[in-house]
Structure 1
Amino acid sequence: MGFEVRQLRLVAAIGREGNLSRAASALGVSQPAVSCQLSRLEKQLGYRLFERHDSGVIATAMGEALLRRVDSVLPLMDDLLSDIDQRAMINAGPSVLRVGAVCSAIAGRIGGLVAGAVQGGTVSVQIDDCVLRLIDMVGDRRLDLAAIKEYPGYEHPLPPDVRVTAFMADPTAVLLPEHHPLADRSLVELADLRDESWVLHPVDSSRFHEYLFASCAALGFRPSVSHHCTNEQASLQVVRNGAISLSQAGSPALAPGVVCRLLAGNALSRKHALAWRVDSPLAPAASTLISELRSAYWHEARRSPVFADWARDPQSWELSESR
């Protein structure tokens, strides 16, 4: 298998700190996020890199071998990526600003907001639902900033010199067949979905599946996922025929025979955040962009029949969490 730069940085931080909590602090992310990333990498490799102990972690023989090479490889990778970035900037011209965004209610507006904030230059926008890829591209200077989404307690490790500010949270809604017994409620409890058949996106790097299954486990059940689907319209057809799914503000319009209801108690809420490097040309505009992105989100949310009532009380959902 091939390694990603973020995985090498993760291993280097754990080896350097000898403790998952300290490694998490160095990477600017939660300890559970580091633990999960390490477990996932070890599963991909097929062997353990670190032995866990009460006082911290100790590298295995395979871990030691990898650490020796990581210390040599990372500086070379940083130099290579910096050189590629400089050449790309020369070819593109100094006035091109490169922005990334996950699919969300504000993805279509971020390019215009960036152009307005800096008042000049051309903005190139890459929309990509892989948060890890966007974070890595910010860290490698292939993007000047990115609008991302994360889940509380399941944040991703950050490359050096990358800052993230979560500026708001939003609720999750459940999609139901129109004649479902829960369809007449305005709010649906997550626990009431324990016996349903679910349709979800395939497992990816967003960590949403971990978040979902942990939230359901806390309520004493495990979702029964009958379908994995990457196409939104196909998912709606499955829901119309008896399954349930999940949605957020800005999702595609519903199909006939499908209704959308908010989950009660902030269940499965997510965070919208802005990521940038400290030396990004857009770093001075970050606070302005955060304010503009909040306003853009509320404008889009109020256009949704399901989210409009919720969006009338924005203060309770606005955040200012930086790492």
Structure 2
Amino acid sequence: MELELRHLKVIRAIAEAGSLTRAATALGLAQPALSAQLRRIERTLGGALFERGRNGVRATPLGELVLERTRIVLPAVRELQQEAARFARTRRQAERLRIGGTHGPLLGALVDRLAGAAPTTTVTTRASWSERELADLLADGRLDFALAGTCGSAAPPGAPHLAWQEIAVDPVFVMLAEDHPLALGREADLAALADEEWACVPGDGCFADCFTAACARAGFTPRRMYETDTASCVHLVQVGRAVGLCRATFPPTPGLTTRPLAGTPLMWRHLLGWHPGSQQPDTAATLLTQARTAHARAAARSDSYTNWLARRGDPDTALR
């Protein structure tokens, strides 16, 4: 018989209990079965480990030697098991990323970047109109990272408990039907759109209030606002029902064009968030780099955005 780890645990249990009867109870064995197992262990080790007496058992010199080794071996094995479990959890986390995001092309672009940069990582996504919901999912550990945004300099959701890093800051553009009178201009004056109906995607931040305030500064109160999904917004713009509000990175779409608003009255800040207690700094840094690259490439595909940057004399803005 070869000595096994379970045999060392039996020896330690007998020494700690001080008797075979009490040790058998602690190990959940019958006392005769424990006695037989101890005899097999002693034959394997070449001598008696315990002296049996009326008051229990006492370790022999050989037993003391073995017990001394168990005090080293058993904690070391337990520590090895704990380290292996931590490594396995970290490995599983490294092979899986759960990313949440609001509407817009940035989430898909980030998934595409990760597919090329980390092909063995399984990426799952969850979309939500609510920045607060995404923040709650991060805080609860149900998401690893989230792409969200804020209007201007507004505080990100869940800011005291979560880490948020800026990906980029974009102007808010308008979506116009390609035959709209303002579609041929370089930019659209907000006051010139006073009689339009509007379309945008919903959210629970302050964007609606900021838009209303911008309209008030331009001298009007906006008419009906359709808050709906991106595809519906596009349709409403294409058929001339409404003018849409969108991020400057909105991709080229048949039947419509995007134009900056004169004076840039509205800005949108893209953010990447995570829970600092759940993510390694290098993982967060990698995701942030990939998100910034994804944004830069999305910006480069928008002619109206690149033209706007060129007119400002800051062509590298979208690459930061």
The TM-score with structure 2 as length reference comes to 0.60
Give the Cα–Cα distance (whole angstroms) in 2 for the partners of residues 156 and 280 of structure 1: 19
Give the Cα–Cα distance (whole angstroms) in 1 for the partners of residues 264 and 169 of structure 2: 9
Task: Give the aligned CA root-mean-square deviation in angstroms.
Answer: 3.2
Moved more, 190-199 or 117-126: 117-126
Moved more, 132-141 or 148-157: 148-157
Deviation per CA, 1:255-298: give whole Å up to 9, x if none. 43x33211122222201111011112244332333233222212
Say if 1:176 and 1:240, in contact at 8 Å, map to a contact too: no
Residues 1:140 and 1:115: Cα distance change in structure 2 (over 3 Å): farther
Greater CA radius of gyration, 1 or 2? 2
Residues 1:159 and 1:137: Cα distance change in structure 2 (over 3 Å): farther
Moved more, 209-218 or 116-125: 116-125
What letter matches 2:164 in structure 1?
Answer: V
Residues 1:296 and 1:310: Cα distance change in structure 2 (over 3 Å): farther
Aligned residues: 228
The residue that corresponds to 1:206 in the other structure is 205
Say if 2:248 and 2:305, in contact at 8 Å, map to a contact too: yes
Deviation per CA, 1:56-93: give whole Å up to 9, x if none. xxxxxxxxxxxxxxxxxxxxxxxxxxxxxxxxx98x95
Residues 1:318 and 1:222: Cα distance change in structure 2 (over 3 Å): farther
Deviation per CA, 1:186-232: give whole Å up to 9, x if none. 1112232223222334x541332122112222333211116444352
The residue that corresponds to 2:53 in the other structure is none
Say if 1:198 and 1:226, in contact at 8 Å, map to a contact too: yes
Give the Cα–Cα distance (whole angstroms) in 2 for the partners of residues 192 and 113 of structure 1: 39
The residue that corresponds to 1:232 in the other structure is 231
What percentage of residue pairs aligned between the two structures are identical? 29
The residue that corresponds to 2:161 in the other structure is 161
The residue that corresponds to 2:286 in the other structure is 288
SS at match of 1:180: coil
Residues 1:134 and 1:314: Cα distance change in structure 2 (over 3 Å): farther
Deviation per CA, 1:225-247: give whole Å up to 9, x if none. 16444352464345533532222
The residue that corresponds to 2:259 in the other structure is 261
Residues 1:111 and 1:279: Cα distance change in structure 2 (over 3 Å): farther
Say if 1:236 and 1:255, in contact at 8 Å, map to a contact too: no
What letter matches 1:293 in structure 2?
Answer: A
* Structure 1 residues 27-176: aligned runs within 5 Å: 94=93, 95-114=95-114, 121-158=121-158, 160-176=160-176
What letter matches 2:97 in structure 1?
Answer: L
Say if 1:103 and 1:128, in contact at 8 Å, map to a contact too: yes
Residues 1:93 and 1:146: Cα distance change in structure 2 (over 3 Å): same
Shift in Å at residue 166 of structure 1?
1.6
Residues 1:290 and 1:311: Cα distance change in structure 2 (over 3 Å): farther
The residue that corresponds to 2:59 in the other structure is none
What letter matches 2:274 in structure 1?
Answer: W
SS at match of 1:164: strand
Give the Cα–Cα distance (whole angstroms) in 2 for the partners of residues 226 and 300 of structure 1: 27
What letter matches 2:208 in structure 1?
Answer: H
Give the Cα–Cα distance (whole angstroms) in 2 for the partners of residues 152 and 174 of structure 1: 17
Shift in Å at residue 136 of structure 1?
1.1
5+ long unaligned stretches in structure 2: 1-87
Say if 1:199 and 1:239, in contact at 8 Å, map to a contact too: no
What letter matches 1:138 in structure 2?
Answer: L
The residue that corresponds to 1:218 in the other structure is 217
SS at match of 1:169: strand
Give the Cα–Cα distance (whole angstroms) in 2 for the partners of residues 145 and 230 of structure 1: 23
